Amino acid sequence: MTEAEARSFAVDWVDAWNAHDLNRIVSHYSSDVIFSSPFVAALGAETAGCIQGREALQEYFSTALEAFPTLAFRLRSVFRGVEALTLLYDSVNGLVAAETMLLDHAGQVTRVWAQYDDNRETRPLPVKEG
């Protein structure tokens, strides 16, 4: 994945969310996607925090858009690897999110790990010396 491809994917993904366009959002994911997030259980989708399949993910995303009608993400950074990328962005309720996405050869997301930090600014954590 080139830097331009990663950036293009990230911008389109954020734009889809900010437009609240459910079909466009879901188009980024493969039919057999596995999605893990602490929000899954919080929004009542699956107590284990993991969703499997695009249909279940679409239902979950629909619930999320209803729960957060003013949702607006702000992309901070895009980290790219060989078959994966991580998007760092401002999420809902002042949270900073990092979503690591594994992509298939067609450029669709097959696996997602979403993590959140309640700090508005990314700052270094203290490190023990010695």
User: Structural domain boundaries of the chain?
Assistant: 3-117
Q: Tell me what pLDDT residue 118 has.
A: 77
pLDDT at 120 over 60: no
For 38-84, write each residue's pLDDT tens digit: 877 666 655 677 899 999 999 999 999 998 999 999 999 999 998 99
* Strand 84-90 to 74-80 pairing: antiparallel
* Residue 65: partners with Cβ closer than 8 Å, 6 or more residues away: 20, 22, 71
pLDDT at 23 over 60: yes
pLDDT at 21 over 60: yes
Q: Which residue has the higher pLDDT, 33 or 120?
A: 33
Do 84 and 91 contact (CB within 8 A), yes or no?
A: no
* Strand 74-80 to 50-52 pairing: unpaired
Class for domain 3-117, per CATH? alpha beta
What pTM does this model have? 0.86
